[in-house]
């Protein structure tokens, strides 16, 4: 496997233009996709479960007979958890506890200003939504982390019903995803995906409850559908491909840096890993590590495509210059592989 990330240096006169070009992404502007998604949404609105079953057979190749077969009960989720190894159970439980504690600290509460004596009351009442829909990817990769990080905030907020949708291509679904749903106290799971799942969450069918807000990442079809149902329901955001920026100053283990870049590259071929550095010799060590480690990974083919399509190696003049690049890119995931990361944080926007 040959890896060929694009190399840039901030000293180049065209650096800003090239960075803009190489980090640009707009996945939901394809007119044919927009049209097809609109047709799918209309089919779900008009035909409900019948359309849901037909589209699941057609698009997910899941030979389901009835829509009721798509709904998993709490016992199925608990059984998935019980079937895991002790190591996986501990890992998921630890992650659940940490995410839960984080969002408990973040939780908003109602407040009122002191009475000003004129009869006017100023304040804010914070109330949970009634129903939230959670989309969890289930195609090329599965993400129990998406379950935890999207379901738990809703449960901490007090949402009484969290309904999760997850595609099951060919009828298969990763039990770790279901186990995460069990730990996160997800109330309902429906094994559907794509634009049809978003439409079902927004408008409801006989088997899928309509929700107030839809959260969670997905592919371009999911993003397009979320854009089209926004207004009928709330959404979190229109997510693009995953991205990570790692800023590194030696001494640092280049294998660690390589694996951190792979952590997002493995999501899909359009994910964007970016390495920012001031030491070109160390960047070469990282590339050597990437080349050596890649063949050992289960998702090597997808990682290789991501690296060769969208990976950037950016040489900065110094730390301040690197911080400018970080703020310019504003990555989804940022790692500061330096001996004093806290010193950099005030400059990171």
Q: What is the pLDDT of residues 50-94, one digit of tens each?
A: 999 999 999 999 999 999 999 999 999 999 999 999 999 999 999
Residue 164 sits in the same domain as residue 186: yes
* 268 and 205 within one domain: no
pLDDT at 29: 62
Q: What is the CATH number of the domain that holds 249?
A: 3.40.50.1980
Report yes or no on 123 lying in a domain.
no
Q: Number of folded domains in the chain?
A: 2
Residues 10 and 39 in one domain: no
Q: Are 178 and 260 part of one and the same domain?
A: no
- The per-residue pLDDT for 139 is 64
Q: Which residue in 21, 125, 333, 335 is the catalytic one?
A: 333
Within 8 A by CB and 6+ apart from 173, the residues are 138, 142, 166, 191
Same structural domain, 226 and 275: no
Structure tokens at 190: 């429906």
**Among residues 16, 304, 332, 347, which one is catalytic?**
332
User: Could you tell me the two tokens for 149?
Assistant: 């990080």
Look up the domain containing 227 and give its range. 32-106+128-235
- Could you tell me if 186 and 44 lie in one domain? yes
Return d(Cα 14, Cα 163) in angstroms, integer: 48
Residues 205 and 275 in one domain: no
Same domain (yes/no): 219, 268: no
Question: What is the pTM for the complete model shown?
Answer: 0.87
Q: For residue 323, which phi and psi values (nearest 5 degrees)? A: -60, -40
Indicate if 333 belongs to the active site. yes
Residues 6+ apart with CB under 8 A from 346: none
- Picking from 176, 200, 235, the residue at the C-terminal end of a domain is 235
Rounded Cα gap, residues 189 and 208, in angstroms: 9
Same domain, 21 and 46: no
Q: Are residues 194 and 140 in the same domain?
A: yes
Would 62 be classed as within a structural domain?
yes
Q: Is 347 marked active-site?
A: no
């Amino acid at each position: 496997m040959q890896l060929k990330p694009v190399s840039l240096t901030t000293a180049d006169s065209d650096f800003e233009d090239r960075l803009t070009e190489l980090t640009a992404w707009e996945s939901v502007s394809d007119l044919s996709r927009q049209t097809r998604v609109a047709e799918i949404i209309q089919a779900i609105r008009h035909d409900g479960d019948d359309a849901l079953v037909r589209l699941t057979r057609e698009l997910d190749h899941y030979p389901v007979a009835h829509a009721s077969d798509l709904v998993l009960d709490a016992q199925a989720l608990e059984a998935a958890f019980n079937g895991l190894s002790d190591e996986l159970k501990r890992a998921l439980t630890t992650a659940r506890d940490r995410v839960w504690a984080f969002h408990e600290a973040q939780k908003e509460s109602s407040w009122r200003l002191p009475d000003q004596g004129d009869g006017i009351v100023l304040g804010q009442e914070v109330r949970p939504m009634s129903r939230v829909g959670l989309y969890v990817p289930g195609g090329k990769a599965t993400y129990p982390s998406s379950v935890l990080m999207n379901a738990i905030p809703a449960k901490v907020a007090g949402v009484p019903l969290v309904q999760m949708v997850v595609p099951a291509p060919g009828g298969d679904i990763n039990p770790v995803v279901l186990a995460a749903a069990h730990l996160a106290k997800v109330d309902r799971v429906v094994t559907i995906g794509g634009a049809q799942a978003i439409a079902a969450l927004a408008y409801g069918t006989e088997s899928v409850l309509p929700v107030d807000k839809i959260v969670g990442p997905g592919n371009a079809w999911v993003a397009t559908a979320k854009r089209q149902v926004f207004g009928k329901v709330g959404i979190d955001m229109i997510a693009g491909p995953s991205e990570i920026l790692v800023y590194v100053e030696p001494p640092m283990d280049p294998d660690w840096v390589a694996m951190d870049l792979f952590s997002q590259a493995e999501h899909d071929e359009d994910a964007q890993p970016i390495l920012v550095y001031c030491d070109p010799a160390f960047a070469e060590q990282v590339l050597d590590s990437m080349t050596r480690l890649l063949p050992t990974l289960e998702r090597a083919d997808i990682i290789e495509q991501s690296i060769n399509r969208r990976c950037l190696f950016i040489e900065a003049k110094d730390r301040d210059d690197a911080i400018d690049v970080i703020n310019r890119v504003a990555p989804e995931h940022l790692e500061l592989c330096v001996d004093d990361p806290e010193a950099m944080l005030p400059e990171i926007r």
